[in-house]
């Protein structure tokens, strides 16, 4: 949207570029009655995508991460997936 030609905008507005638009994902978190925390994304088309919060260590172990701590486990999984792509 070009605004520099509009008489309502001051001369210095010509220096600004239109704001880039992304996918327009909205995100919110909700705590369920079960105690789980859900991260919910709403897409521009109205669809919802839900992720449940979990312990990072348990998730890394479940995915087969290798290492003596959580960071090493996730790094090994990340590297493994990068190599397979």
pLDDT digits (tens, 9 = 90+) for 58-80: 999 999 999 999 999 999 999 99
Note whether 81 and 61 are within 8 A (CB): no
Q: Please, which pLDDT band fits residue 53 given cuts at 50, 70 and 90? A: confident
CB contact at 8 A, 40 and 32: no
The pLDDT assigned to 10 comes to 55
Kindly report the pTM of this predicted structure: 0.53
CA dist 63 and 46 (Å) reads 31
Distance of alpha carbon 85 from alpha carbon 79, whole angstroms: 10
């Amino acid at each position: 949207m070009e605004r520099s030609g509009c008489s309502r905008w001051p001369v210095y507005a010509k220096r600004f570029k239109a704001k880039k638009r992304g996918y327009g994902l909205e995100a919110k978190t909700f705590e369920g009655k079960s105690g789980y925390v859900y991260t919910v994304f709403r897409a521009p088309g109205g669809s919802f995508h839900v992720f449940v919060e979990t312990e990072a260590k348990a998730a890394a172990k479940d995915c087969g991460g290798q290492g003596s701590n959580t960071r090493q486990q996730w790094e090994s999984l990340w590297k493994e997936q990068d190599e397979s792509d």
